[in-house]
Amino acid sequence: MVSAGVCAALLGATLAATPIPLRPIPWQEPAPLGRLFLQQPFEAPQPETSLAVQALSANLLMRGGRPGGFDYNVDEEIASLSFSGQVVLADRVGLSLTVPVVIQYGGWLDPLVDGVEKLVHARSARAGTTSFQTEARFATADGRVVEQRGPSAALGDLTLGAQWWVVTQDGFRPALAFRAALKAPTGGTLAGSGTWDVGGGVLAGWEAGFFAAHVAFDVAVPNGRLDVLELPTRPYGSVQVGFGFRASDAVALHLQLSGHTSPLRIDDAPGLSGSTFYVLAGGEWQVASGTTVALSMVENFLSPGRGADFSVLLGLRFGLGPEASPERSPSPRPLSDPPARPPRP
């Protein structure tokens, strides 16, 4: 009876809620070493006062390098728990804080990935490997070694962000926002880069009825070398494109594509310094007005041997302010609009 009552309450709240907002799934690059640096999530241009928790489990199997040079071996899963909050000021500006916890463990995705590769008869580096391993080893030519065997958990690098919504949607003109972020080196070994990173980007979004499209373009610059291995860094960036489809007032479907360049350039390890590309497919359910649960799957494509092989995301988001949709929000006006004239006496 209690379970039936809870289900009825959730159903009633769902039916009574406003339609689910079509905001992108906040995907970030989970590749080894690259994930240690600033990675801004995919977001809509309109900031929203909110709290969010996202759990990511990314399956990694990578080997490369050369004897006497840089050498690496990664066979593990990375589970990242991100706790984030955003506060909106004067309708246009959003200030955010993200606190990640990084867990290296054997995971649960190995049998799923193996089964899919066998089904499609794909050539795989997994032949002869043991499932559920937790091993990550990176060695440089000058003898520096960073190694993790067995499960571990550590605080990641904290990120402070700011977002400025500069243009609202008007007809075929998309909404537009600029954003910036600063990452502090608070993480432990293989949970943070040891660098202060600064990044900036542009967000665009357009929505019509049951459909929405979003684009994010970001660049970032690390300040210094990768601390634990003393590897040189470089500016890097990402491009993300997403499409949202409102299947009902409570359910949305998402399809997203992304490309990421690496913050590192290691001549002996193109698997760590090359670009990565991902496709994400997911669904989102609004369990109450402003509260959504999202489940997504992400596959690495066009970049075999680089980045995460397969990832699963589970996100919970609480919208705490008035909903700001580009098609429904009358305020703020575009910056190009002339100021309103005062009434005549």
* C-alpha to C-alpha distance for 138 and 106, rounded to whole angstroms: 18
Cβ within 8 Å of residue 96, ≥6 positions away: 84, 85, 86, 87, 159, 160, 161, 162, 163
Q: What's 332's DSSP letter?
A: S
Cα pseudo-dihedral 313, 319, 323, 327, rounded to 10: -10
pLDDT of residue 328: 43
In this structure, CATH architecture of domain 2-57+78-104+153-319: Beta Barrel (2.40)
pTM (global) more than 0.75 = yes
Q: Give how far the C-alpha of residue 175 lies from the chain's centroid of Cα atoms, to the nearest Å.
A: 21
pLDDT of residue 134: 86
Segments in the chain below pLDDT 50 = 1-2, 6, 8-16, 324-328, 330-338
Contact status, residue 111 vs residue 131, Cβ threshold 8 Å = yes
Q: Give how far the C-alpha of residue 142 lies from the chain's centroid of Cα atoms, to the nearest Å.
A: 34
pLDDT of residue 331: 45
Residues 104-151 pLDDT 10s: 988 888 777 766 666 655 555 555 567 788 889 999 988 899 999 989
**Would you kindly state where each structural domain of the chain is located, as residue ranges?**
2-57+78-104+153-319
